[in-house]
Amino acid sequence: MIPASLRTLLDETRGQRSAQWAGREVWLANEAWGELAVSLQGAQVLHFRPADDDGEGWLWVTPTPQDLPGAIRGGIPLCWPWFADDHFADESPDRSGPFHGPARTAEWRLDAVDEHEEGVELHLSPEKRLHTQLAPRLVIQANAQRLHVELITEHTGETPIKISGALHSYLAVDDAFACRLEGLAGARYLDKLAGFAEREQQGELGVRGELDRIYHSNAELTLDDGARRLRIARQGSDSAVVWHPGGELPADTPTDAGSHFLCVESANTRLDPVWRVPGAQHLLGTTLSRG
């Protein structure tokens, strides 16, 4: 689902342009291949719809986003350089900070836009330094067949460091509680609602209520909501996070919007944190395509 005010901006867009939405600068594309909207707060993909898709798009965004400096709920927020409240670099001056890290509320700049007939590729980087040893950049590729997002972290410091993170994708669905997520049968997972108890997935995953799990899996997944089958491939990730708040919705999510998303995240978590030495890079990616 896409907020009506963002839908209006896209309908008024021919080609590419920058605009203001919910107090933030957003980059918009309405091209022959489809539509894309990216917020420069958090380098956050807000909307993607290929040209021949009859729905409202593949991503969900709350119709009532928080005011700045709060984060926008929906799209693909960046959790960096840690996931949730896991601060792995205990000896680092960067060991404390906001839930999911500083990247999702930081201001980013659009460094390059590469156009071609099939689609577009965007390159973004933070306006200010977010970590003393790590430097992130984001690449977004969109065309008529797929959306690909990759978060690249370069170690520019002098000592080895452990990082985590996620591409916290909010996928749009008709009804979250009628969805089925295929590809996790037999996978082990940590149930965050049961104190991180370790369990095994029996059969395919159906969503019936509140859900917060970290699956130890790098398998390609397929989300089936009855109206659309969406393939979810992940790169540089052995953790698949699946989350829905059930009936206890966050304050920025209206009741009538809460059943229209399911988070399926490409992540590095406590199950697969990434060690990097000086000069090394890590790529965390997610690719959405038709199932």
Q: Where are the domains of the chain?
A: 4-290
Can you tell me the mean pLDDT for 105-131? 95
* Cβ-based neighbour number of residue 11 at 10 Å: 10
Quick one: pLDDT at residue 54? 87
> Which one-letter DSSP state was computed for residue 10?
H
Quick one: pLDDT at residue 90? 43
Give every CB contact of residue 21 below 8 A, 6+ residues apart in sequence: 5, 6, 9, 37, 39
Range 4-290 has CATH code 2.70.98.10: yes
Can you tell me the mean pLDDT for 75-97? 70
> Does 96 have pLDDT greater than 60?
no
Angle at 48 between CA 111 and CA 64, to 5 degrees: 95
Quick one: pLDDT at residue 93? 47
> Does 91 have pLDDT greater than 70?
no
HSE (side-chain half, CA atoms, 13 Å) at 266: 24
Quick one: pLDDT at residue 156? 95
User: What percentage of residues in the chain have a pLDDT greater than 70?
Assistant: 96
Query: pTM, whole model, 2 decimals?
Result: 0.94
User: What percentage of residues in the chain have a pLDDT greater than 90?
Assistant: 89
Which DSSP helix (H) or strand (E) runs through 193? Answer: none
For the chain, first and last CA: distance in Å? Answer: 19
pLDDT confidence band for 89 (50 / 70 / 90): very low
Which has the minimum average pLDDT: 105-109, 237-241, 254-258? Answer: 254-258
Write phi, then psi, for 129 (nearest 5 degrees). Answer: -65, 130
* Cβ-based neighbour number of residue 198 at 10 Å: 12
261-268 and 165-167: which strand pairing?
antiparallel
